[in-house]
Structure 1
């Protein structure tokens, strides 16, 4: 965590940030957040992240008392204050302190600046393993702070040598605990349409590919795919070469996945340098 954050209406030392102990974020796990990267001091895809954060506040009925322009300026000031050339910015809006300790109320906005560590290069070269899990995330289209189940379950997938999980229900896959998923079969790229967060990295990967089928994707399809990869802000594009004990494709990182990753990196350079 970097030394300065935004809390209680101003930029303060991060260690001084506080929240009321009866806030719904604590007693009910109710709040929203978003996370974006800085590349060469530029907040990458900032407007898309602000779109999602503002929409999440509206959908969860938590008042957001800052305009888009105010949020932009706070983020700009934090990047400068923390000298955040390459890092992360975490926006959090708590559920607030309500009279009945249940209904959403006026929450507190926090924006934290963080160091960012990408997965080891080896994982991009050899791929990762996912552990299948029958589960659908609650209100998946909103980036809520409620990660209780995957945090609790994470020890099991780590014990199994997996990087993360792949959620599925009634034969259809949806997403990983913190990432979207894509499959490639016979040159066609597909990604699930239901029970998923509309990821910002997902959106730009779809733009790069240009012809992605957004549709129901079935668990058995994924196992028979030529290539599989996950996308997120903190991973960008990470190839998947194993699900449970099943090898994906040849069991090696696919050429198409790496091509898409390189095009994404080129887009970053175009926007930030």
Structure 2
């Protein structure tokens, strides 16, 4: 199917979109993005994603010359133009063409409509494995395009049977490379409070889960946890049943994890109406 995107101020065929090779997005890896899903032609939690994208542009000193209303209208047009019943919308703002090839400039805005495949059902039924990785993501509260370390590290994941990594520093965990992290202990949900991206899915989970403690979490606590899971736009919620070579809990997805997943699916249905 032919896809259309927004670039150079208009809707164009995606394959014709271009970027200058000296853009800071390429030569310095400097830019921001955000990604949201559509369900039934409806962009889920759109205002929350626009909030974060607009804030990211301001925090990274990248001029965003389109208003919230204009962004909303472009996304709506792309969903219709691409017949995007269930898929993804990717907003990308590059670092721009800088006079000194270093300082942020006026970047280029792209908005793409994409096909989207959710994780296989067996991952929800059996859970996934994460690998510990000592790392703190730079300016973690901004959704930047800098994924150099996890992209490089991901070469090993399939060989080691892992879904992703879990970042930690000085024994305190933060997040996965593309997801937020939660544990369950004695029926209470806990999630890290520092060096994390404030995920939109995380935000919704905090609302529907009820009793949630937001605080520093150590690696030792994960080994002793009853359940664990990661959350993101493209996964919703995936049970984590193994960290490195050690099982979490009984090594199976737990009832609280799966209960939150079911509540989230109901929330999605309501949000899409």
Flag whether TM exceeds 0.5 (same fold): yes
CA distance in 2, matches of 1:74, 1:210: 35
Q: Which residue of 2 aligns with 1:228?
A: 228
1:261 lines up with 2:261 in the alignment: yes
- The CA deviation string for residues 10-62 of structure 1, in whole angstroms up to 9 with x for no partner, is 00000000001100000000000000000100000000000000000000000
Mapped to 1, the partners of 2:110 and 2:189 lie a distance apart of: 37
Deviation at 1:156, TM superposition (A): 1.6
Cα deviation 1:126-164 (Å, max 9, x = unaligned)? 000001111111110000001011100001222211000
Match of residue 174 from structure 1? 174
Equivalenced residues, count: 273
Match of 1:199 in 2: 199
Q: Secondary structure at 2:101's aligned position in 1? A: coil
1: CA distance, partners of 2:211 / 2:70: 36
| 2:16 maps to 1:16 | yes
Aligned to 2:140: 140
Alpha-carbon distance between aligned partners in 2 of 1:73 and 1:223, rounded to the nearest angstrom: 47
Deviations 1:184-240 (A, max 9, x none): 000110100000000000000110012211100111101110000000000000000
Counterpart position of 1:126: 126
Pairing 1:3-152 to 2, within 5 Å after superposition: 3-152=3-152
For the residues of structure 2 that align with 1:271 and 1:177, how far apart are their CA atoms? 27
Note the residue ranges of structure 1 that are not aligned, 5 or more in a row: none
Is the contact between residue 2 and residue 112 of structure 1 (CA under 8 Å) also seen in structure 2? no
Mapped partners of 1:271, 1:129: distance in 2: 31
- Normalising by the residue count of structure 1, what TM-score does the alignment of the two structures yield? 0.99
Let me know the Cα RMSD of the aligned residues: 0.8
SS in 1 for 2:90: strand
Distance in 2 between residues matched to 1:260 and 1:190, nearest whole Å: 13
4+ residue runs over 2 A deviation: none
3-state SS, counterpart of residue 253 of structure 1:
coil
Match of 2:213 in 1: 213
